[in-house]
A and B are shown apart, each in its own frame.
Chain A
Amino acid sequence: MKKLVLVMMIFILSFAIIACEKEEEIEEVTLTVWASELDQTLTRTLADEFIEANKDEVKLTIEIGPQSESTAADSILADIEGAADVFSFADDQFNRLMEAGALQEVSENTAAVIAANGGATSGSIMAATKNGKLYAYPMTADNGYFLFYDKSVYTETDVQTLDGILAKAQADNSIFTMQINNGWYLYSFFQGAGLSLSYNGTVNDANWDNETGVKVAQAIIAMAEHPAFENRVDADFSAGVANGTVSAGINGVWNASVAETAWGENYAATKLPTYTLNGVQTQMASFAGYKLVGVNQTTDEPYWAMKLAEYLTSEQAQIRRFTAQAWGPSNVAAAQSTEVQASPAIAALALQSQFATIQNVGGNYWSPTESFGNQIVDTTLSSTSTAAEILAALQAMVQGIEAAPAS
């Protein structure tokens, strides 16, 4: 019996000793990061560097999971507490994430982060700011769209107008493509025509359902019905470029490497073309898009999560991300580097930027515009539709866009 007690005592004591030893050790922190499938390798490298750089202060373990930036909010909002501590997302989801309270305010080195991205009035900072407070770290300033084209098919004058592109594509027996049933791209026509879309933090306001709107819709229909036009989703665009059926298209930098590989020397990119609105050439507008890195409001380690987010979006990280993925930096110094300046895609974005607006829209914008675009794709709305029919469809869309979010 005594022996047993002795053994027990030793056992308990050894625990106590281990516990004491632990106290002297440095803090252990585990963070999870969600980054784009395309950006996994670089994120891993940067994370390892971050671990190494801070090893005197903290013992970090960083797990990285793949999560497309375009649907990040869906996954985060399905379970905020279960989501990653640090995640990247496209700025169209900023309002949605803010509404749900998922974003931690940037509270370490805030001024430096703002300055590095061009100050409080720069687009990337404004896209991550609400009520004067910064809630995310800008990672790229390239999440907009522009025109890709094959120089062997089009001249520089051809790509100035939509009509020019379509005529050349038809002559070449190839395809010009854009995704109409997607509010993100559809916006370019309406905004270009001078119609407005705004968001006051709760509901959207749009004036697309008027005579000009009908004319815009008719212009889109004319494009959609052109034999050289095909409505294609992202994946079909890159597939078409790769197999040579697509010779021009409106898309974003994430497909720049596909176009460069397929077209080689003939790869070119420029601002969006003009389209014929009521006989007048009208410049297509676009959304200026940013990719942001956010910190989860419910994280257990806000300090290290913020530090990591800052590191993942630092100047060096952005330059390396450009080298690896051709993603355009939001960091001003990084954007100035000669490599970045030489990229056709980035140059095209810069050209387009004068016609681009920040994506400040509420969640109810996307579904109605997708459906409206799809009505053109499935020819519910066609050149045989009357102005009244088109107006009715526009009114239904605007009603949806302006609908108050479900309480």
Chain B
Amino acid sequence: MNNMKTNTLLQKPASKNKMMTSLKDFGLALKHGDLFVKLSALVLGMGFFKRKQYAKGIIYVFIQIIFTLFAVFVGIPSMSKISTLGTVEYEVIYDPNLRDNVVNNYDNSFLILLYSLFAILFTVVFILFWFNNIKHQYRIQKIVEDGHRLPTFKEEIKTYLDEKFHVSLLTLPILGIVIFTIIPLIFMFLIAFTNYDENHQPPIKLFTWVGFKNFSLLFDFGRSSQAFGYAFGIIIIWTLIWAFFATFLNYFGGIWLAMYINSKTVKFKKVWRTIFVLTIAIPQFVSLLLIRYFFSDYGIMNTIAQNAGLLQFFKDIGWVKPGLAYIPFLSGPVWTRVMLILINCWVGFPYVMLIATGVLLNIPKDLYESAEIDGANKYQQFKKITMPYMLFVTAPYLITSFIHNMNNFNVIYLLTNNRPTSDLKLAAVDARDVDLLVTWLFRLTSEQANFKMASAVGVILFLISVVFTLLAFNYVIRGNKEDNFQ
């Protein structure tokens, strides 16, 4: 039985069959069901009353009433305006006698969109419920016809603590995912197709559908005057470069450090480890803000660099423009990018070091011993034993940290917030040359209230994350890889 279930889940044709049988059951139920089964297509749970299952009947009727009320008072009024998202603008007149604002019966585009989304979701759920309801009625009709006893309400409740315990257990997490992840995600997706921004902000202004306009702005790569495409191109490339370096430099830096501390030549191993772990103990934003202060144009690092002749050296080799009186650590576009990656190493690699230390201690010593007997040198041992082992254990970490780095808001924003850009086209869309998609998105929402473009960027960011995650998990952590590891 169990096997069959997993099969139907895994194999597409089987699940298609399942749907077909489900539909067939429904047809049979309607055809062979008695009057009450048929009536329950109109009034949910009629069959329950006939079979004296009053409690369940009342619950079903109650659900139908709630749904009807919702549809009449919220769902249908909202859905009727979904094509325009409202036409009546907010108008207000202050009445000094009432000491209050008199507001007309205006449309709120935001609520129309939100309620319509709920209406659609509830309707889908209700239809499934209705569908199952009829099958359910027919099932109990047959149980009674076959002369079996129907379970009482109490007994049925009890099954949710027993054989249906998985249902009780999973309800809350699934509800949570739907309410806090899926609905906002769909909503953001919808906003990306509207002109919801600073000047179209409910309740005072209306917003409406604009089709793919926001996406075409993002993907025209610099042809439009608004420069969204130009900024998008620069930012997405930098996001990927950043994620690559931030992930792999940290990764190999951490492994190298762990191996070095682990090696026989190093004394006071625990002391070194503790020192590096201390960087984790200090809240990241504190270190970042301090680092920002150190490396600012007139900060202490620049004073040191100037006194040490570094500034002149960089000017001589052409890395710093001759007119500058400081090294633009966090203000020059290229300097900032390199510094960001290095600073991120500093705050990031102790984590990898900890993980790597654990993994390294777990590698069977006999592997190294036999390798040594076979005459392998240190590098060969690293390449053939250490790295494959590390990669095997930490692949999931590597993937998640790549995604995490693509969305690494803290490092970028705390170090470069309020940093002006010389690029007029970037500035025009409130982007900075070191912005990641996620920091740009934040700027667009919190500083510009440009929700439509932020949503469009959000959708793209979501798609990229999903694609990377799926690809990586498919290729790296395919189920039974343990056997292949040698």
**A166 CA / B116 CA spacing, docked (Å):** 64
Q: Chain B contacts of A372 at CB under 8 A?
A: 424
A378-B324 contact given A303-B100, A407-B195, CB 8 Å threshold: yes
Q: Which residue of B lies closest to A103 (CB)?
A: B204
Q: How large is the interface on A (under 10, 10 to 19, 20 to 34, 35 or more residues)?
A: 35 or more
- State how many angstroms separate the Cβ of B457 from the closest Cβ of chain A: 14
Contact pick for B199, options A100, A236, A397, CB 8 Å: A100
Contact pick for A368, options B198, B204, B427, CB 8 Å: B427
Q: Judging by beta carbons under 8 Å apart, are B205 and A406 in contact? A: no
A163 in the interface, Cβ–Cβ < 8 Å? no
A101 in the interface, Cβ–Cβ < 8 Å? yes
What mask results when residues 321 to 334 of chain B are scored 1 for a CB within 8 Å of chain A, else 0?
11111001001100
Q: Chain B contacts of A74 at CB under 8 A?
A: 446-449
- State how many angstroms separate the Cβ of A179 from the closest Cβ of chain B: 10
A382 in the interface, Cβ–Cβ < 8 Å? yes
Q: Judging by beta carbons under 8 Å apart, are A78 and B96 in contact? A: no
A225 in the interface, Cβ–Cβ < 8 Å? yes
B176 in the interface, Cβ–Cβ < 8 Å? no
A396 in the interface, Cβ–Cβ < 8 Å? yes
- List CB contacts (< 8 Å) of B278-298 with chain A: 296-298
B5 in the interface, Cβ–Cβ < 8 Å? no
Q: Judging by beta carbons under 8 Å apart, are B198 and A232 in contact? A: no
Q: Chain B contacts of A100 at CB under 8 A?
A: 198-199, 201, 204-205, 449
Best-surrounded residue of B90, B195, B321, B427 (most CB of chain A within 10 A) = B427
Sampled A-B contacts (6; CB under 8 Å) = A99-B199, A101-B205, A227-B325, A297-B204, A368-B428, A374-B422
Q: Judging by beta carbons under 8 Å apart, are B201 and A400 in contact? A: no
Q: Judging by beta carbons under 8 Å apart, are A303 and B99 in contact? A: yes
Q: Judging by beta carbons under 8 Å apart, are B449 and A77 in contact? A: yes
Q: Chain B contacts of A374 at CB under 8 A?
A: 420-422
| A99-B198, A230-B325, A232-B298 given; 18 more Cβ-contact pairs under 8 Å | A77-B201, A77-B449, A81-B203, A96-B198, A100-B204, A230-B298, A236-B296, A236-B298, A298-B204, A302-B100, A303-B99, A371-B421, A371-B423, A374-B420, A374-B421, A379-B321, A400-B428, A407-B195
**A90 CA / B8 CA spacing, docked (Å):** 64
- State how many angstroms separate the Cβ of B354 from the closest Cβ of chain A: 36
A367 in the interface, Cβ–Cβ < 8 Å? yes
Q: Which residue of B lies closest to A298 (CB)?
A: B203
A181-B199 contact given A302-B94, A370-B427, CB 8 Å threshold: no
**A375 CA / B449 CA spacing, docked (Å):** 27
- State how many angstroms separate the Cβ of A96 from the closest Cβ of chain B: 7
A162 in the interface, Cβ–Cβ < 8 Å? no
Q: Chain A contacts of B430 at CB under 8 A?
A: 367
B92 in the interface, Cβ–Cβ < 8 Å? yes
- State how many angstroms separate the Cβ of A363 from the closest Cβ of chain B: 8
Q: Which residue of A lies closest to B197 (CB)?
A: A406
Q: Judging by beta carbons under 8 Å apart, are B323 and A382 in contact? A: yes
A181-B420 contact given A108-B96, A367-B428, A406-B226, CB 8 Å threshold: yes
**A400 CA / B430 CA spacing, docked (Å):** 12
B469 in the interface, Cβ–Cβ < 8 Å? no
- State how many angstroms separate the Cβ of A94 from the closest Cβ of chain B: 14
**A181 CA / B421 CA spacing, docked (Å):** 9
What mask results when residues 70 to 92 of chain A are scored 1 for a CB within 8 Å of chain B, else 0?
01001101101100000000000
**A105 CA / B430 CA spacing, docked (Å):** 30
A405 in the interface, Cβ–Cβ < 8 Å? yes
A45 in the interface, Cβ–Cβ < 8 Å? no
**A302 CA / B297 CA spacing, docked (Å):** 47
Q: Chain A contacts of B418 at CB under 8 A?
A: 233
Q: Judging by beta carbons under 8 Å apart, are A378 and B332 in contact? A: yes
Q: Judging by beta carbons under 8 Å apart, are A367 and B427 in contact? A: yes
- List CB contacts (< 8 Å) of A314-344 with chain B: none
Q: Chain A contacts of B201 at CB under 8 A?
A: 77, 80, 100-101
Q: Judging by beta carbons under 8 Å apart, are A379 and B427 in contact? A: no
Q: Which residue of A lies closest to B228 (CB)?
A: A406
Q: Judging by beta carbons under 8 Å apart, are B422 and A403 in contact? A: no
A373-B420 contact given A101-B90, A378-B324, CB 8 Å threshold: yes
Q: Judging by beta carbons under 8 Å apart, are B323 and A80 in contact? A: no
Q: Chain A contacts of B195 at CB under 8 A?
A: 407
Q: How large is the interface on B (under 10, 10 to 19, 20 to 34, 35 or more residues)?
A: 35 or more
Q: Judging by beta carbons under 8 Å apart, are B449 and A78 in contact? A: yes
Q: Judging by beta carbons under 8 Å apart, are A102 and B204 in contact? A: yes
- State how many angstroms separate the Cβ of B376 from the closest Cβ of chain A: 52
**A231 CA / B92 CA spacing, docked (Å):** 46
B407 in the interface, Cβ–Cβ < 8 Å? no
Q: Judging by beta carbons under 8 Å apart, are B198 and A77 in contact? A: yes
**A380 CA / B297 CA spacing, docked (Å):** 16
**A107 CA / B448 CA spacing, docked (Å):** 29
Q: Judging by beta carbons under 8 Å apart, are A104 and B101 in contact? A: yes
- State how many angstroms separate the Cβ of A141 from the closest Cβ of chain B: 26
B445 in the interface, Cβ–Cβ < 8 Å? yes
- State how many angstroms separate the Cβ of B329 from the closest Cβ of chain A: 13
Q: Chain B contacts of A182 at CB under 8 A?
A: 420
Q: Please list the 4 inter-chain residue pairs (A to B) with the smallest Cβ-Cβ separation, ordered nearest first.
A: A379-B323, A303-B99, A101-B204, A367-B427
- State how many angstroms separate the Cβ of A136 from the closest Cβ of chain B: 15
- State how many angstroms separate the Cβ of A299 from the closest Cβ of chain B: 8
B2 in the interface, Cβ–Cβ < 8 Å? no
**A374 CA / B331 CA spacing, docked (Å):** 10
A302-B101 contact given A100-B201, A378-B332, CB 8 Å threshold: yes
Q: Chain B contacts of A233 at CB under 8 A?
A: 418
Q: Which residue of B lies closest to A236 (CB)?
A: B298
- List CB contacts (< 8 Å) of B441-462 with chain A: 445-450
**A101 CA / B205 CA spacing, docked (Å):** 7
Q: Which residue of B lies closest to A381 (CB)?
A: B422
Q: Judging by beta carbons under 8 Å apart, are A405 and B424 in contact? A: no
What mask results when residues 256 to 297 of chain A are scored 1 for a CB within 8 Å of chain B, else 0?
000000000000000000000000000000000000000001
- State how many angstroms separate the Cβ of A166 from the closest Cβ of chain B: 14
- State how many angstroms separate the Cβ of B193 from the closest Cβ of chain A: 15
Q: Judging by beta carbons under 8 Å apart, are A396 and B203 in contact? A: no
Q: Judging by beta carbons under 8 Å apart, are A297 and B421 in contact? A: no
A378-B321 contact given A101-B205, A302-B101, CB 8 Å threshold: yes
A105-B446 contact given A96-B198, A378-B331, A403-B428, CB 8 Å threshold: no
Q: Chain B contacts of A298 at CB under 8 A?
A: 203-204
Q: Judging by beta carbons under 8 Å apart, are A371 and B422 in contact? A: yes
- State how many angstroms separate the Cβ of B334 from the closest Cβ of chain A: 11
What mask results when residues 382 to 424 of chain B are scored 1 for a CB within 8 Å of chain A, else 0?
0000000000000000000000000000000000001011111
B6 in the interface, Cβ–Cβ < 8 Å? no
Q: Judging by beta carbons under 8 Å apart, are B424 and A397 in contact? A: yes
Q: Chain A contacts of B447 at CB under 8 A?
A: 71, 74
- State how many angstroms separate the Cβ of B55 from the closest Cβ of chain A: 22
**A341 CA / B427 CA spacing, docked (Å):** 41
Q: Which residue of B lies closest to A405 (CB)?
A: B199
- List CB contacts (< 8 Å) of B98-151 with chain A: 99-101
What mask results when residues 368 to 407 of chain A are scored 1 for a CB within 8 Å of chain B, else 0?
1011111101111011000000000000110010010111
B225 in the interface, Cβ–Cβ < 8 Å? yes
- State how many angstroms separate the Cβ of A182 from the closest Cβ of chain B: 8
- List CB contacts (< 8 Å) of A132-190 with chain B: 181-182
Q: Which residue of A lies closest to B296 (CB)?
A: A236
Q: Which residue of B lies closest to A221 (CB)?
A: B323
